[in-house]
Structure 1
Amino acid sequence: MSDIQRLEMDAKDEGLGKIEIAPEVIEVIASIAASEMDGVFSMQGTFAGGVAERLGKRNHGKGVKVELGDEGIIIDLYLTMQFGVSIPDVSEKLQTHIRQTLMTMTALTIHEINIHIVGIQF
């Protein structure tokens, strides 16, 4: 997704203009909301993000991918869970928590939140 694409919302008062939210903002909000959930050990980033993080740059959107599809906003999370937790229960709570957090902060409706478990931390 390019930096040019933005999520646009009409302001409540017609004369005020538009509000644009970059997809990177949604990535950061979803990543922080996921890290608050019990049972989530870590978010899985990309190789390039890992190199940048080792060089001192924080990647707050780590492990989150946002797409603007025809149906709406689709979020994919890639994470490592703690051993011993119920993956379906934690995943369902995580989807609800992220949806509520994004609705509260951005007033955007999310079409899908897909959870991808890429590892278990023992």
Structure 2
Amino acid sequence: MEERSNYVLRDNNDIGTVQIADDVVAMIASLAVRDIEGVEACAGNMAGELMDKVGIKNARKGAKIDIFENRVKVDVFVNIAYGYNIPVTCGKVQDKVKTTIENMTGLTVTDVNVRVVAVSMPNNK
């Protein structure tokens, strides 16, 4: 079974602590890119299975997270729709992932690395 890590977001001796699992931060990153035009999906299915085989964990969720001392490094795996400018679209992914994680968790995002694992063709072609 894969080890899950929890990180303390807030520790208040009067009422207790707030912890977040790294899987939750990975899910936030994956969900953040869903509405970006040109991003078909976070990597999954065949691309995710391939990455699992070569040792990249959390690829099925579309993100890999490393957290150290409330600083987050994110690797996001995406499928880009054919015809979209990849650098521009990936820049939007970086901005959205960073902003969303920071707003929802209070953690500081230091890196958002976007890995394009596939180009998706329109369904009607």
Tell me if TM exceeds 0.5.
yes
Residue identity matched to 2:25:
I
| Map of 1:76 onto structure 2 | 75
Give the 3-state SS of the residue equivalent to 1:8 in structure 2: strand
TM-score (norm 1): 0.77
* 8 A contact 1:78–1:115 mirrored in 2: yes
Q: For structure 2, list consecutive stretches of 5 or more residues without a partner in the other structure.
A: 51-57
Q: What is the DSSP-based 3-state SS (H/G/I as helix, E as strand, rest coil) of the residue aligned with 1:97?
A: helix
Alignment of 1:39-50 (within 5 A): 39-45=38-44, 46-47=48-49
Cα offset, 1:121, TM superposition: 1.2
Q: TM-score, normalised by structure 2?
A: 0.75
In 1, Cα distance between the equivalents of 2:103 and 2:8?
16
Residues 29-40 of structure 1 mapped to structure 2, 5 A cutoff: 29-40=28-39
* Aligned counterparts of 2:49 and 2:91: Cα–Cα separation in 1: 28
Asked whether the equivalents of residues 71 and 111 of structure 1 are also in contact (C-alpha less than 8 Å), the reply is: no
Structure 2 match to 1:52? none
Identity of aligned residues (%): 26
What is the alpha-carbon distance in structure 1 between the residues aligned to residue 98 and residue 107 of structure 2? Answer: 9
In structure 2, do the counterparts of structure 1 residues 71 and 23 end up closer, same or farther at CA, with 3 Å as the change threshold?
A: closer
Q: Give RMSD over aligned pairs.
A: 2.5
Residues in 1 aligned to 2:87 and 2:69: alpha-carbon distance in whole angstroms? 27
Gap regions ≥5 residues in structure 1: 49-58
The ranges of structure 1 where at least 4 consecutive aligned residues each deviate by more than 4 angstroms after the TM superposition are none
Q: What's the counterpart of residue 8 of structure 2?
A: 8
Given that 2:70 and 2:108 are in contact with CA atoms closer than 8 Å, whether structure 1 keeps it comes out as: no
Q: C-alpha distance in 2, partners of 1:118/1:17? A: 41
